Amino acid sequence: MSAAARFESGTDDGRSGHSIDPAVILSLEGVSKRFPGVLALDNVSLTLHPGEVHAICGENGAGKSTLMKIVSGVFQPDEGTIIYKGLERRFLSTLEAQAVGITIIHQELNLIPHLTVAENVFLAREPRHGPFVDRRKLLADTAKCLQRLGVDIDPGASVRSLSVAQQQMVEIAKALSTDADVLIMDEPTSSLTESETTLLFRVIHELKRTGVGIIYISHRLDEMAEIVDRVTILRDGRYVSTHNFSETSVDAIVSLMVGRDLEDKFPPPTRRPDDHVLLSVDRLTRNKVFHDVSFTLRRGEILGFAGLIGAGRTEVARAIFGADPFDSGEIMFDGKALSIGSPRDGIAQGLAYLSEDRKTTGLATKMSVASNITLANIEDVSSRFGILDFRKEADAARRYVDLLNIRTPSIHQLVRLLSGGNQQKIIIAKWLFRQSRLLFFDEPTRGIDVGAKFAIYQIMDELAARGIGVILISSELPEILGLTDRVAVFHQGQLTRILETRNTNQEEIMHYASGHSRPGQDPASGTAP
């Protein structure tokens, strides 16, 4: 029986043995949660109605994800109650929550890379024919889920072969396959293109129509108007207020989130680029990936890489850093030719790459703040015998925690327990401690709140003002326009145009990102030949 039919009939398909209150499907009352040194949630309450999208907004560290992990069985509350379909519940695992109809799409991808898309979507729920997995049905059922999302992904493909955006769609398909009554979406669009986001919103409207209650967490406040009915704001782990979304504004929500008005989204620049060329790339090519990419980066400049997903921005950055090979071309750094065959070579020569997926490739999540900050320069906190000097490590960690205003109860705190904004600052601290002279920021504010974004923007500006090279790869055009001095626009592996930021706009950038160009123009120089 569908969710809508269950709501109309007043039954719950035998999952709880009790009738449903059609007004409220989920209620949280006085929920609190403590971690070592941190009160993550303090007496938080909210309700969710069938067929409603209820947004939870707040800065990183406000408690949004912690609250949702309690609802979905990842954590158990220290205080408070969860009432689901009229019954007080406490879930000891995500499988328990899923069994009664509550499913979560985590902000961090929760897939097994070496398994196929189908095996991930129906993990631990595979259709069987006797004792054996029915692979034909497994692939067919997965194809239906992906078709529902409107995406072209092979159910038999290995997850590790997919892009981050495609993996995000697999996560969403996995959640849809459970036929949940309550669906929690934690930053579901953070890796998606505009067209993929549109497809997701179409599915959300369909789910609302069938009576599914959706809790929606996103830092992209502008997109919420299309789908959200109510919004609850949290700040520092506490409940602030709940509003009908149609009766409030994004500016009002932001003010409630941060406890103050944000007049400017971007800091005023303190840097002034000079004529010294820090990085020069000439005709860089990797067959079938990118071709004849040429550009320069001046000292004191922030250069933006813009383009649609798959345009080659990240691939070019990774090739320069040494993470991926390239077939031809020349790279000059501070007047010297670079010979880089691996990330180790890139790091040794002063390059740093802050990856889009910070949890997988940017951080050692099971290690402490101090260990992560010193990880790329461990020799500077070791004795001459190669033994780690814990006092040196602690001194270095405290210096960068203070410098970047990293909010952590202790330098010994595990980084996985910190908010996304603070995790991003730790990655920056790691490369500053390494004394890197060129930093690639790849989608640095993905999944980060407005307050933390501003702090990251300030750090980037200050780095450029100190003469450190900064290249920003971002899918958010307001971010590109608000931070950079020039914009390199990519399309299908080619650099189509370099634009002066002060003289361009989103429409022009998208014009070149879509592959259009004007006759008689030289992309690498940004001027007519």
Which two tokens mark 413?
């705190």
Which two tokens mark 434?
């390494």
Q: Which residue has the tokens 């290690």?
A: 367
Q: Is residue 77 part of a domain?
A: no
Give, to the nearest 10 degrees, the angle between helix 135-149 and helix 164-176.
110
For position 263, what pLDDT does the model report? 58
Biggest CA–CA distance in the chain, Å, is: 75
- Per-residue model confidence as pLDDT tens digits over 232-272: 999 889 999 999 999 999 888 888 887 755 556 788 888 88
Give, to the nearest 10 degrees, the angle between helix 164-176 and helix 194-209.
10
Helical H runs in 259-377?
Answer: 313-321, 343-348, 369-374
For position 18, what pLDDT does the model report? 33
**Residue at a domain's end among 370, 403, 435:** 435
Indicate whether 406 and 385 sit together in one domain: yes
| Cα 207 to Cα 149, 182, 364, 513, distances in angstroms | 12, 10, 37, 33
Q: Is residue 357 part of a domain?
A: no
Summarize the confidence of residues 101-118 as an average pLDDT: 87
Q: Is residue 11 part of a domain?
A: no
Question: How many whole angstroms separate alpha carbon 496 and alpha carbon 517?
Answer: 7
Helical H runs in 177-296?
Answer: 194-209, 250-258
Indicate whether 441 and 497 sit together in one domain: yes
Compare 347 and 196 and report the one with higher pLDDT: 347
Helix (H) or strand (E) holding 431: helix 420-433
Question: How many whole angstroms separate alpha carbon 512 and alpha carbon 307?
Answer: 8
- The pLDDT > 70 percentage for the chain reads 91
Q: Which residue has the tokens 């090979």?
A: 325
Task: Name the residue among 55, 46, 6 with its Cα closest to residue 179.
Answer: 6
Which two tokens mark 101?
């109809």
Indicate whether 340 and 367 sit together in one domain: no
Question: How many whole angstroms separate alpha carbon 30 and alpha carbon 41?
Answer: 9
Q: How confident is the model at residue 48 (pLDDT cuts 50, 70, 90)?
A: very high
What is the residue-averaged pLDDT of the chain?
A: 85
Round the CA-based radius of gyration of the chain to a whole number and report it: 24
Q: Would you call 2 helix, strand, or coil by DSSP? A: coil
Q: Is residue 295 part of a domain?
A: yes
Q: How many domains does the chain have?
A: 3
Q: Is residue 18 part of a domain?
A: no
Which residues, other chains included, contact 224 with Cβ-Cβ below 8 Å and sequence gap of 6+?
Answer: 55, 216, 218, 231, 245
Q: Is residue 163 part of a domain?
A: yes
Indicate whether 313 and 443 sit together in one domain: yes
Sign of CA dihedral 185, 47, 202, 313: negative
**Residue at a domain's end among 388, 420, 435:** 435
Indicate whether 319 and 371 sit together in one domain: no
Full domain range(s) for residue 128: 114-176
Q: Which residue has the tokens 């996995």?
A: 174
Instruction: Count Cβ atoms below 10 Å from residue 251 Cβ, excluding itself.
Output: 11
Q: How far is CA 10 from the centre of its chain?
A: 39
Helical H runs in 150-178?
Answer: 164-176
Indicate whether 414 and 441 sit together in one domain: no
- Per-residue model confidence as pLDDT tens digits over 110-166: 889 999 999 999 998 899 988 899 999 999 999 999 988 888 899 999 999 988 778
Indicate whether 367 and 344 sit together in one domain: no
Q: Is residue 371 part of a domain?
A: yes
For position 529, what pLDDT does the model report? 32
Whether 250 and 261 have beta carbons less than 8 Å apart is answered as no
**Residue at a domain's end among 375, 403, 435:** 435
Indicate whether 390 and 471 sit together in one domain: no
| Cα 329 to Cα 289, 339, 525, distances in angstroms | 14, 11, 17
For residue 498, the domain's CATH number is 3.40.50.300
Q: Is residue 392 part of a domain?
A: yes
- Per-residue model confidence as pLDDT tens digits over 278-321: 999 999 999 989 999 999 999 989 999 998 777 899 999 999 99
Indicate whether 277 and 391 sit together in one domain: no
pLDDT at residue 521 greater than cutoff 70: no
Indicate whether 168 and 125 sit together in one domain: yes
Question: How many whole angstroms separate alpha carbon 466 and alpha carbon 272?
Answer: 10
Indicate whether 509 and 397 sit together in one domain: no
pLDDT at residue 37 greater than cutoff 70: no
Indicate whether 520 and 451 sit together in one domain: yes
For position 260, what pLDDT does the model report? 57
